[in-house]
């Protein structure tokens, strides 16, 4: 009998059944994060789920590295959708211990300014830095519907 967590993951991902994964690793070969992060391997995440090792994944930061490019899902010959498995694990981890601090900060920044991060300077090939003004670009204005955006973020539990 499968643990409740496995059932919850299968319910969240719908038709994509992680149990049909035969570990061809095509998902990992197409994943840009796996190319950059040695501990992020979509096929391993699916294996851990199939073996019932949920706590390890739910307590790890590895599930938060997915960029949602869905290349793993495109590459999978079994239509397992590792990206949806990761999304389900993130939802369960959030229920268990809340959002990671970096995500919370980003949500708070969106609620406060309308942007997910501060306006930054850019660098050219010689590493000379320029701000928007020096490039003749107008100042970025906050979205016109900030009050609505703040309400949405608050309703979703993003900020107190």
Could you give the domains of the chain?
Answer: 4-97 (1.10.1060.10), 101-155 (no CATH)
pLDDT for the residue numbered 53 = 86
**How many CA atoms lie within 13 Å of 149's alpha carbon, on the beta-carbon side?**
15
Contact between residue 62 and residue 40 where contact means Cβ atoms under 8 Å apart = yes
pTM: 0.72
Tens digits of per-residue pLDDT, 5-42? 667 776 766 656 778 899 999 999 999 999 999 999 99
Tens digits of per-residue pLDDT, 98-127? 888 888 888 888 888 888 778 888 888 999
Q: Read off the pLDDT of each residue in 118-138 and give the average, rounded to a whole number.
A: 90
Residue 98 CB coordination number (10 Å):
11
Q: Read off the pLDDT of each residue in 32-59 and give the average, rounded to a whole number.
A: 92
């Amino acid at each position: 009998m499968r643990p409740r967590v496995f059932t919850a993951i299968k319910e969240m991902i719908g038709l994509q059944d992680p149990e049909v994964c035969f570990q061809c690793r095509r998902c990992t070969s197409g994943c840009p994060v796996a190319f950059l992060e040695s501990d992020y391997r979509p096929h391993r995440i699916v294996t851990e789920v199939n073996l019932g090792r949920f706590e390890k994944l739910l307590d790890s930061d590895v599930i938060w590295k997915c960029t949602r490019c869905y290349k793993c899902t495109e590459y999978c010959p079994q239509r397992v959708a590792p990206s949806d498995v990761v999304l389900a694990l993130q939802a369960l981890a959030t229920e268990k211990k809340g959002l990671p601090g970096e995500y919370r900060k980003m949500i708070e920044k969106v609620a406060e300014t309308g942007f997910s991060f501060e306006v930054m300077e850019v660098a050219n090939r010689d590493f000379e830095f320029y701000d928007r003004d020096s490039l003749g670009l107008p100042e970025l204005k906050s979205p016109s519907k900030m009050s609505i955006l703040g309400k949405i973020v608050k309703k979703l539990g993003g900020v107190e």
